[in-house]
Amino acid sequence: MVALIMPDTRVTPREDVEDAVELAKMLNIEYHVIPIDRIVDSYSVAPFFNLEERLPTGNLRARVRMNILYYYANKFNALVAGSSDRSEILIGYFTKYGDGAADIYPLACLYKTQVRALGRFLGVPERIVSKPSAPRLWRDHTARSELGLDYDVIDLVLYAIFDLGLKPEEIPAVTGVSIDVVERVLKMHRATRHKRVSIAPPRLPWVREPIREI
């Protein structure tokens, strides 16, 4: 196993890099720190590129990292392990073809709050386990500031819907979460469906199955 730590030093706090290095050492795995600043800057030759734009440039950072991961995976005949958990996948909180691109998703069956509990059980330092979720795609970027909700609340709603099978109107009485918040989480899920489904090929009337496995 090899860990690639890929900060953009203008937006990635030094303590995040230090935490990643500490965790790699604790797990006794090989790691490499690869700053991506110059790679991101190289896109400045493209028309309309603006380094100060949060979302387009932030997603670019995620896709640059994906490119580097797959370069090394190709080079060493390896698989890319995705970091997305069940919470992020269900609300679409990942960059399409960025951190959402992977060959395996070992955390995809666990909600964010469960991942934190697993980290504690495995002995991950509390400083790392309890630090706020922060994609760091731009300066001071945190999940809470972008989503407007904490994962403790998001997970309650997602669990109620996808694991308990409750209807939206039933959830407030069971969880104490307001119906407005329930609808807000549902909106996140529905608006990001395109991130969770494969691309459908055009269908011709005389072709029963355009693409299928045999």
d(CA 78, CA 82): 13
Of 104 and 52, more confident: 104
Asked if 157 and 87 count as a contact pair (C-beta separation under 8 A), the reply is no
| pLDDT tens-digit series, residues 85-122 | 999 999 999 999 999 999 999 999 999 999 999 999 99
| pLDDT tens-digit series, residues 3-35 | 999 999 999 999 999 999 999 999 999 999 999
| pLDDT tens-digit series, residues 155-201 | 999 999 999 999 999 999 999 999 999 999 999 999 999 999 888 77
- Of the candidates 8, 18, 65, the one whose C-alpha atom is nearest the C-alpha of residue 38 is 8
Q: What are the structural domain ranges in the chain? A: 2-148
Asked if residue 134 has pLDDT above 80, the reply is: yes
pTM over 0.85: yes
Average pLDDT of the chain is 93
3-state secondary structure of 5: strand
Asked if residue 208 has pLDDT above 80, the reply is: no
CATH superfamily placement of domain 2-148: HUPs (3.40.50.620)
The reported pLDDT for the residue numbered 52 is 77
Indicate the pLDDT class of residue 124, thresholds 50, 70 and 90.
Answer: very high
